[in-house]
Amino acid sequence: MFVFVRCKKKEIMKKVKALVITGFGINCEEEMAAAYKLAEAEAEIYHLNDIFNGITSIHNFDVLNFPGGFSFGDDLGSGKVLANKMKYKKMDSGKTLLEEIKIFLNNGKFILGICNGFQFLVKMGLLPNTKGNFDQEVTLTRNNSAKYEDRWIYLKKNPNCKTPFLKDIDVMPCPVRHGEGKLIIKDKGIKTEILNQNMNAFSYCDADGNITSEYPLNPNGADLDCAALTDPSGQVLGMMPHPEAFLSLYNHPNWGQLKRQNPDISEDGAGLKIFRNIVKHVTSSINL
């Protein structure tokens, strides 16, 4: 006698794939890759030349990431040389990387740039890109303090900002590590568009979430007290603070007191939420 058993087909969930760029002075690639792995995505680190030489393609990934560091020693302004390389160097495909990035975004994918990565996105014209023509509209330049700022600050999310990276975040502590983090907006028209389209994603604030220009709560004197920008679509996020440096509660300099005040506090760092957000968002779209 034969018994037939109908087995339910096992659903295989596709994992989000994150590409983390390194090379030419970028030095936070391992932390960024760790963030995606903790968020249950696949993360691969490639030197930028591997992209230019066709060893891998950005189109094999769901999220393109530009970590912090000191690309080309910041000798011509933070991120400027790297931005020019992306805009003008032809790849094996015959296109520039900027042209490939435009296709990447048209396919509904996402880009994250942190610190030096934010500086690069700004100087490439990917942020804020209010007119959609990829012209540079803002810059990131020397802090008002005229020194390198290495401190913990607080961030207040714009509640109307639509990027999925920042879902369900309100006030977040985070470290900054930069010498050129001051956002300067080209003119009043661009500033108005940034405000009208809620592209000022994070502002520097105090522990209670009150946005401030006061130093050192605002470590650089940025226009609009801006710590992060998105493009109009919300697909591109750039931020000066380092969420990948706050993946565990124990990264926080005051973790002991936080633990005593709240013994049930999560051992996840607040920065991990950004990576979990985008992984969850992309997972829901690729597994429809």
Question: What are the angstrom distances between the C-alpha of 195 and each of 18, 141, 189?
Answer: 30, 21, 10
* Cis before 253? omega within 30: no
Residue-wise over 189-208: b if at least 16 C-beta within 10 A, else e? ebbebbeebbbbbbbbbeee
User: CA angle, corner 147, sides to 144 and 148, nearest 5?
Assistant: 115
Which tokens belong to 197?
């389209």
Q: How far is CA 102 from the centre of its chain?
A: 17
Give the separation between CA 205 and CA 24, rounded to whole angstroms.
Answer: 33
Residue whose C-alpha is closest to residue 105's, from 191, 280, 232, 196 = 232
- For residue 136, the number of C-alpha atoms closer than 13 Å in the C-beta half-sphere is 17
Residue whose C-alpha is closest to residue 85's, from 73, 98, 74, 94 = 98
Residue whose C-alpha is closest to residue 155's, from 109, 212, 84 = 212
Known catalytic residues are 115, 242, 244
